[in-house]
Amino acid sequence: MDLKILYLLHRIIAFGSRHRSLLSFLAVLAGVISLDVACTRLFATSQLSLKQTGLLQPHFIDSLDIGFAPEVWLSLIALTLGTLVIAISVAAQTIPKIAELYMRDWVSLVYIWFLMIGGSHALLIKYYQDTASIRPASVVLNLYVFLPGSIIIAFPYIFYVLKSIQPVTVIHKIVETHLANIHKLRRYSFGRLLQNDAYREECQRRLLESLNQLGNLLEYLTFREPKAQAIQNISLLIQTYITTKPEINPQFFKVGQTVCSDISFKTLIDQFQDLEQSKTFYEQKCFRLLGNIYVHLLGDLEFDLASLCASEMSNIGLTAIEIADDQLLEVIIVRFNTMFRFALKHGVKHNEARNLYNLAFHYRAFIESLVTHSRVHHSWQSFYYLRMYGNEAYGYGRTSPAMYFIVDVIAAEMKKILILVHQHDWSIQIQRQLLNEMLLVDRPPEIETDSLHQPHLNSGVRTLQICLALFYLQEQNDKFVDCIITDILDDMAVLGEKMFRQRIEKTCDRLRSSQPKFWEDTDRGNANLYYTPNQDQIEPFLMRLDKRLAALGK
C-alpha cells in the first residue's frame, strides 16, 4: 500500500481517537435512532396479532404516559455526573491528568451520552404526546428498555468509576496503552509510516507523554504499593522496548522536535547527535525518570522503594546483557554510577548507610550477571567504578562514620565477584587486575597524603581481604594469597610489628567464631558479611604470614 494512503488512514484513525467524545455521541445517537425506528416498525406490523393473542390489551396504548420520565432521567443524569465529577475531582488532587484519561474512556463516554440522549428521547416523546402524535413503540422502548437499563447500569458504572480512579488501575491503564504503542512499532505497516516525519514525531510524543505521566504519578502518590507498581512498570516498559528494538524501523530513532522539547532532555542540547547515533533516547528518558524517582525517594527516606529502583536497574541490565546490547550496557553502567553518586551524597549528609548498603548489593548483582555472561570489559569497568566509590566512601568516613561500614560492604561485594570470576576460570591476568582493585578499596590517595590526621586502618576491609585469601588458599592459588599478604603487611608501617600481630590475631579469632547468620535483620536479610566457610585455612594463612614477617625481619 502506498505510503500516502497509509498515512491518510492513520490520520483518519487519529482524528477519531482525538475526538472520541464526538464519535461516541454520534454512535450512541445512531444506535438510539435505529432502535426507535426498528421498534416502531416492528410494533406497527405486529400490533394486530398481539391484540388477537391477548398480549396487547386495548387500553394499554391509551394508558401509556411518559410525563414523569424526563424527571427520572434528569435525576439519573445528576446522580451519575455528580458522582463522576466528585470522584475525579478528589482523585485529581493526587493523580495528575486523570481527567484527561476519562475524557478518552470509551465506557464513560458511551454511558454518559446514552443518559443524555435517553433523556432527550423521553422529552421528544413527551412532545409528540402533547401534540396528539402518539408513538407507542417509542414510549415502550424508553420506559421499559432504556430507562430500566440505565438505572440498573448506574450503580455498576459508579463502582467502575471508583475502581478506575484507584492509582493502581490508572497506572495499569497507562502502561497497557504504552505497551500497545511499543508493539505497534514492530508492525510492517507502522514501520513504513515511520518514514513520515509527522507520524514519527507523533509516535515519540505518545511514548514520552505516558512516561511523563508515570513520573508525575510517582511524585504525587503517597501510597507505597502504587509507587512500587509504577517503578516496576517503568522497568517492564524498558525491557519490552529493548527486546522489540531490533524490529523497529531505524527512522524511529531520529531525534526531532518532540525529543528536543521534552523536559528530560532540555539540558542535553549538545548530546542530541549522540542520542540519535546510539538510538537510546527512549532508554535515557526512562533512566532519567528512575534517577529522579530515586533522588525523590532518598529525600523521603523510602529505603525499600529506593532499593527497588536499583533492583529494577539490575534487571534491565540483565536483559541488555542477554540481547547483547553493548551501547545500552554502557548507559546502564553510567546510570548505576549516577545512583551511587546520589546515594553517597545523601549518606554523607545524613550519616546514613542504608541506601548505599542496598545499592551496593544490586550493583554487585549486575556485575555478577556480566561475569556470568563473560562480558569481561564491562565487568572490569563496573568493578573499577565500584572500587572508586569505595575510596570516596572511605574518604568521607572522617566526617560521616557510617561510610566506613559502606567501605566494608563494597569490599564484601568485590570479594564475592572475585570468587565468581575465579569459579568461571577467567584468565590469571584479569583476576590479578581485579584483585589489585580490591586491595585499593581502603586507600584513597587523598587520605594517604593527608598529614593533618592520623591514618585510619579499616579492620573490616582487612578482615574481608583475609577471607578472600583463605578462599585462594583453599583453591591452592598461592600467588594471589601472597599478593594479599603483601598488601596487609603495609599496615605494619603504621601500627608497628607488635600491634600489627595483635590486630591480625584478633581478626583471625573473629573469623574463627563467625557464623553464616548475623543476630540482627537488615534489608538484605541477616547474612554475615564477615563469615568465611574456609575457617580451616586460617592456620595455614597465619603460618604463611609469619614466614613473610620473618623474611622481613632478616
Beta strand segments in 283-433, E: none
Which pLDDT score, from 0 to 100, does residue 249 have?
A: 87
481-494 as b/e: b if 16+ CB within 10 A: bebbbebbeebbee
CB 77 within 8 A of CB 155: no
For the chain, residues with pLDDT lower than 70 are 1-17, 44-66, 93-94, 96-97, 99-100, 129-135, 443-458, 553-554
- Residue 437, C-alpha cell as written in the block: 582493585
pTM over 0.85? The answer is no
Residue in the block written with cell 481517537 = 17
Compute the half-sphere exposure of residue 480: CA atoms within 13 Å on the CB side of its CA. 29
**Residues 359-405: tens digit of each pLDDT:** 999 999 999 999 999 999 999 999 999 999 999 998 888 888 888 89
Compute the half-sphere exposure of residue 437: CA atoms within 13 Å on the CB side of its CA. 26
Angstrom distances, CA of residue 430 to CA of 377, 427, 484? 10, 5, 16
Give the domain ranges of the chain: 20-55+63-164, 167-268+281-300, 302-456, 459-554
| 496 torsion bin: left (phi>0), alpha (psi -120 to 50), beta (else) | left
| 374 torsion bin: left (phi>0), alpha (psi -120 to 50), beta (else) | left
First to last CA, the chain: 89
Rounded CA gap, 465 and 481, in Å? 10
Which pLDDT score, from 0 to 100, does residue 450 have?
A: 44
Question: Which DSSP state fits 26?
Answer: H
Angstrom distances, CA of residue 474 to CA of 337, 432, 464, 471? 34, 17, 15, 5
SS3 373: coil
Question: Which DSSP state fits 440?
Answer: T
62-93 as b/e: b if 16+ CB within 10 A: eebebeebbebbeebbeebeebbeebbeebee
Which residues are 517's β-sheet partners?
527
Which pLDDT score, from 0 to 100, does residue 162 have?
A: 81
Question: Which DSSP state fits 254?
Answer: -
Which pLDDT score, from 0 to 100, does residue 454 have?
A: 47
> Alpha-carbon Rg of the chain, whole angstroms?
35
Burial (CB count <10 Å: 0-12, 13-18, 19+), residue 405: middle
Rounded CA gap, 172 and 169, in Å? 5
Closest by CA to 244, choosing from 335, 317, 316, 323, is: 323
Which residues are 527's β-sheet partners?
517
Residue type, 350: H
SS3 280: coil
Residues composing the chain: 554
